Structure 1
Amino acid sequence: MRIGIAGIAIESSTFSPHRTTIDDFRVTRGDELLARYDFLKPGDGVEWVPLLHAVAVPGGPVTEETYERLSGEIYSRLADVEPLDGVFIDFHGAMSVLGRTDIEAEFVAGIREIVGPDVLLSASMDLHGNVSRELAETLDLITCYRKAPHTDAWDTRERAARNLVARLRSGGRPQKAWVQVPVLLPGEKTSTRIDPAKRIYALVDEVEAMDGVLDAAIWVGYAWADEPRCQAAVVVTGDDETVIAVQAQRLAEAYWEAHDEFEFVAPTGTLAECVERAVESTARPFFISDSGDNPTAGGAGDTSWTLDALLRTPAITDPGLTTIYAAIVDPEVTAAAISAGVGTTVSVEVGGKIDSGPCGPVSLKAEVAAVDPAEGVAVLRTGGLHVIVTSRRKPYHLESDFTQLGLEPRKADLVIVKIGYLEPELYAMAADWLLALTPGGVNQDLLSLGHHHIDRPMYPFDPDMPTPTLAPELL
Structure 2
Amino acid sequence: MSRLPIIAIAGLACENSTFTPSRTRAAAFRPKRGEEIIRHYDFLQTDTALGRAAIWKGALIGYALPGGIVERASFEELAGEIISRLTDICQSLDEPLDGFWFDIHGALYVDGFEDAEFELLRRIRTVIGHTTIVSASMDLHGNVSHELAHETDLITCYRTAPHVDVRETKERACRNLIQVLDTHNRGGSLPLKAWIPIPILLPGEQTSTRDEPAKRIYAAVSEVEKRKRILDAAIWVGYAWADEPRNRAAVVVTGSERDAVAIGAEELAQIFWTSREDFKFVAPTGSFSECLNIALASTDRPYFISDSGDNPTAGGSGDVTWGLTQLLARPEFKDSSGPTVIYASIPGPAAVEAAAKAGIGATLTVTAGAEVDNLHAGPITMTGRVHSIKHGDPHACVEVVLQVGSVFVIVTKLRKPYHKERDFAELNLNPRSADIVIVKIGYLEPELYDMAKDWMLALTPGGVDQDLKRLGHHRIQRPMFPFDTVFNTEPDLRARFIPSSRDPLDAHDK
Scaled by the length of structure 1, what TM-score is found? Answer: 0.99
**Which residue does 1:35 correspond to in 2?**
39
Establish whether residue 423 from structure 1 lines up as the match of residue 442 from structure 2: no
**Once the two structures are superposed, what CA deviation does each residue of 1:190-241 show, in whole Å capped at 9, x if it has no partner?**
0000110001111101100001100000000000000000000000001111
Q: Is the 8 A contact 1:279 1:315 kept in 2?
A: no
**Which residue does 1:213 correspond to in 2?**
230
SS of the counterpart of 1:457? coil
Distance 1:317 1:325 in 2: 15
SS of the counterpart of 2:53? coil
**Which residue does 1:441 correspond to in 2?**
463
The share of aligned pairs that are identical, in percent, is 54
Distance 2:151 2:234 in 1: 17
Distance 1:392 1:244 in 2: 46
Distance 2:413 2:11 in 1: 26
Distance 2:333 2:376 in 1: 21
SS of the counterpart of 1:44? helix
Distance 2:167 2:53 in 1: 22
Distance 1:317 1:289 in 2: 21
SS of the counterpart of 1:39? helix
**Once the two structures are superposed, what CA deviation does each residue of 1:155-201 show, in whole Å capped at 9, x if it has no partner?**
00000010001111111311100010000000000000011000111
Q: Is the 8 A contact 2:399 2:410 kept in 1?
A: yes
Deviation of 1:30 (Å): 2.2
**Which residue does 2:246 correspond to in 1?**
229
**Which residue does 1:326 correspond to in 2?**
344
**Which residue does 1:411 correspond to in 2?**
433
**Which residue does 1:280 correspond to in 2?**
297
Distance 1:287 1:196 in 2: 24
Distance 1:175 1:316 in 2: 60
**Which residue does 1:187 correspond to in 2?**
204
Deviation of 1:363 (Å): 1.3
Distance 2:128 2:104 in 1: 18
Distance 1:211 1:316 in 2: 61
**Which residue does 2:93 correspond to in 1?**
none
The amino acid that maps onto 1:111 is: I
Deviation of 1:41 (Å): 3.2
Establish whether residue 359 from structure 1 lines up as the match of residue 382 from structure 2: no
Question: Which stretch of the first structure deviates more once superposed, 42-51 or 351-360?
Answer: 42-51
**Which residue does 1:339 correspond to in 2?**
357
Deviation of 1:247 (Å): 1.2
Distance 1:348 1:235 in 2: 51
The amino acid that maps onto 2:14 is: I
Distance 1:402 1:147 in 2: 25
* Structure 1 segments unaligned to the other structure (5+ residues): none
Deviation of 1:246 (Å): 1.4
The amino acid that maps onto 1:367 is: R
Q: Is the 8 A contact 2:142 2:239 kept in 1?
A: yes
Distance 1:360 1:431 in 2: 33
Distance 1:392 1:427 in 2: 25
The amino acid that maps onto 1:431 is: K
Distance 1:417 1:197 in 2: 24
**1:133-148 to 2 correspondences below 5 Å:** 133-148=146-161
Q: Is the 8 A contact 2:53 2:178 kept in 1?
A: no
Q: Which residue among 12, 22, 25 is the counterpart of 1:21? A: 25
Establish whether residue 307 from structure 1 lines up as the match of residue 324 from structure 2: yes
Distance 1:465 1:445 in 2: 21
SS of the counterpart of 2:42? coil
Q: Which residue among 109, 121, 125 is the counterpart of 2:122? A: 109
Aligned length: 475
Q: Is the 8 A contact 2:332 2:339 kept in 1?
A: yes
The amino acid that maps onto 1:377 is: E
Q: Is the 8 A contact 1:338 1:373 kept in 2?
A: no
Deviation of 1:31 (Å): 2.5
**Which residue does 1:63 correspond to in 2?**
71
* Structure 2 segments unaligned to the other structure (5+ residues): 91-95, 499-510
Deviation of 1:23 (Å): 2.5
The amino acid that maps onto 1:308 is: T
SS of the counterpart of 2:384? strand
Establish whether residue 400 from structure 1 lines up as the match of residue 418 from structure 2: no
The amino acid that maps onto 2:271 is: A
Q: Is the 8 A contact 2:113 2:119 kept in 1?
A: no
Moved over 3 A (4+): none
Deviation of 1:470 (Å): 0.8
**Which residue does 1:156 correspond to in 2?**
169
Q: Which residue among 482, 487, 500 is the counterpart of 1:460? A: 482
**Once the two structures are superposed, what CA deviation does each residue of 1:348-381 show, in whole Å capped at 9, x if it has no partner?**
1110110001101011111111111223110011
How large is the RMSD of aligned CA atoms in angstroms? 0.9
The amino acid that maps onto 1:21 is: R
**Which residue does 1:45 correspond to in 2?**
53
Q: Is the 8 A contact 1:177 1:235 kept in 2?
A: yes
SS of the counterpart of 1:199? helix
**Which residue does 2:495 correspond to in 1?**
472
SS of the counterpart of 2:411? strand
Question: Which stretch of the first structure deviates more once superposed, 413-422 or 333-342?
Answer: 333-342
**Once the two structures are superposed, what CA deviation does each residue of 1:106-139 show, in whole Å capped at 9, x if it has no partner?**
1111111211111000010000000000000110
The amino acid that maps onto 2:378 is: G
Deviation of 1:317 (Å): 3.3
Q: Is the 8 A contact 2:348 2:367 kept in 1?
A: no
Q: Which residue among 6, 10, 26 is the counterpart of 1:6? A: 10
Distance 2:169 2:436 in 1: 35
**Once the two structures are superposed, what CA deviation does each residue of 1:276-298 show, in whole Å capped at 9, x if it has no partner?**
11011110100000000000000
Q: Is the 8 A contact 1:16 1:440 kept in 2?
A: yes
The amino acid that maps onto 2:272 is: Y
Deviation of 1:448 (Å): 0.9
Distance 2:417 2:332 in 1: 26
